[in-house]
Amino acid sequence: MIANQFVTGLSIGAVLLLIALGLTFTFGQMGVINMAHGEFIMAGAYTTYLVQNFAGTQAVAVALPIAFVVGGVMGLVLERLLVRRFYGRPLDTLLLTWGVSLILQQAAIDLFGAPNVQVSAPEWLRGGFHAAGVDIAYNRLFIMALAAAGVTGIWLYLTRLSAGRRMRAVMQNRQLAAISGVATDRVDQLTFFIGSGLAGLAGVALTLIGPVGPQIGTYYIVDAFLVVVAGGLGQLKGAVLAAVALGLLNSYVELWTNASFAKVVVFAVIVAFLQVRPQGLFVLRSRALS
């Protein structure tokens, strides 16, 4: 049972990581506390539900690129219409995006109804296998693989592409990047698109482990912010380590208690950790004049 909980914890961490990847850039780079990020997750989940109408049991695979674009476009619209007017005012962006999240939740209720809906997993993601005394479900293995692919893709983007290097430049020093010729406004748009698109992918993953409802994103958004803060703002490797640690902690505490108490323990551990290391696991290094 202990070994099985390890696999469960890794899958929980993979879901948190998929959600936190987007926040790592929108919050870590741009200082935007985007409470509507959870609704982009919801959009990805409902996209999978709609795709199911014509793709059947293969909806999950078909919906992945579509959900990424849907989430990305929603984030881009939010950034262009509202968020761009509140840069440098994180508390204002929190209130603004919280209001947007409530509007999007109500819109989902109007469109799809309040009751949860179900997405059928494809045949190749049903069941699992037994190895070394551990039961591994195919759907959880797929979620972990999806998270690994997301991290790899983001790492390659940041380190191998010029657009990624411009994003890193803006993250480290926005003013210096701007006077060096980097179009920071365009970088912000692309950052919001990618971050929100990753939330859409997380929504697809969540359809494999439970029903889809208007509030599906709110169940994970706080934990995802904890991952970003504990890992270090804008730090990809920090987000990976923090997501895995929180997933495992949540899994094992829930095994011996219950889900509600596990949430309390995770939150308390993060608060205690931040008292000791307020900057998180890793710190963004930048050049600055002293």
Neighbours of 269 (CB within 10 A): 17
Name beta bridge partners: 223. Answer: none
Tally the C-alpha atoms within 13 A of residue 160's C-alpha that lie toward its C-beta. 6
Judge if pTM exceeds 0.85.
yes
Element holding 78 (H helix, E strand): helix 59-81
* pLDDT, tens digit (0-9, with 9 covering 90-100), for 211-230: 999 999 888 888 898 898 89
Do residues 279 and 239 lie in contact, with contact meaning Cβ atoms separated by under 8 Å? Answer: no
Q: What is the pLDDT of residue 287?
A: 47
**How sure is the predictor about 289, in pLDDT bands with cuts at 50, 70 and 90?**
very low
Query: Using CA atoms, how far apart are residues 167 and 161, in angstroms rounded to an integer?
Result: 10
* pLDDT, tens digit (0-9, with 9 covering 90-100), for 148-201: 999 999 999 988 999 888 888 887 778 888 898 888 889 889 989 999 999 999
CA angle 2–241–136, rounded 5-degree value:
35
Tally the C-alpha atoms within 13 A of residue 78's C-alpha that lie toward its C-beta. 31
Q: What is the pLDDT of residue 284?
A: 62
Domain ranges of the chain: 2-276
* pLDDT, tens digit (0-9, with 9 covering 90-100), for 32-66: 889 999 999 999 999 999 999 988 889 999 999 99
Burial class of residue 21 in the structure, from the number of CB atoms within 10 Å of its CB (0-12 exposed, 13-18 middle, 19+ buried): buried
Query: Using CA atoms, how far apart are residues 56 and 75, in angstroms rounded to an integer?
Result: 28
* pLDDT, tens digit (0-9, with 9 covering 90-100), for 110-132: 999 999 999 998 899 988 888 77
DSSP per-residue codes, 180-241 = TT--HHHHHHHHHHHHHHHHHHHHHHHTTTS-B-TTTTHHHHHHHHHHHHHH-TT-HHHHHH
CATH of 2-276 given 1.10.3470, 3.30.2420, 1.10.287, 1.10.1740: 1.10.3470
